[in-house]
Amino acid sequence: MSSLTPHAPYRHAPKHRGEEDSSVGELLSTVTSDVQQLLHQEAELAKAEIREEATKAGKAAGMFGGAGFAGYMVAVFLSLAATFALANVMDLGWAALIVTGLWAVIGLILYRRGRAQMRTVSPKPEQTMQTLKEDMQWARHPTR
């Protein structure tokens, strides 16, 4: 009899249905464990990256804060210089009032522009919400 019998490919097939189920169960368990470990590692990597970027952003924000304070000091001293320059042609009180009025107008203009721009801001991340909905639909029906 030849070694190539019709049943030869099935020589290593499990004899009992339980053996096949436990093998599939073990495989699924291993795959699930590996996926969980991969997701955990990815989350840790993302946290580390975010922490590093937040540190950079914090340093940059500190520098912007320093620049803002320096700009404020420039505005104060320019205001004093303008006040004293105007005081050469009018009373010091009126010169100070004119410079103060100028700053009030600048503040009003900036306030109105900021308020108009704030009205265009959406607190809800629209694009993220849309992609999450699409992901949920795909997860429910991955073949569509």
Q: What is the pLDDT of residues 75-118, one digit of tens each?
A: 999 999 999 999 999 999 999 999 999 999 999 999 999 999 99
Helix (H, G, I), strand (E, B) or coil at 7: coil
Whether 76 contacts 96, CB under 8 Å: no
* Residues in the chain, overall count: 144
User: Are the CB atoms for 83 and 92 separated by under 8 Å?
Assistant: yes
pTM: 0.51
Residue 144: band (very low, low, confident or very high) from pLDDT cuts 50, 70, 90: low
Structure tokens at 133: 């909905």
Query: Is there a contact between 98 and 88 (Cβ–Cβ < 8 Å)?
Result: no
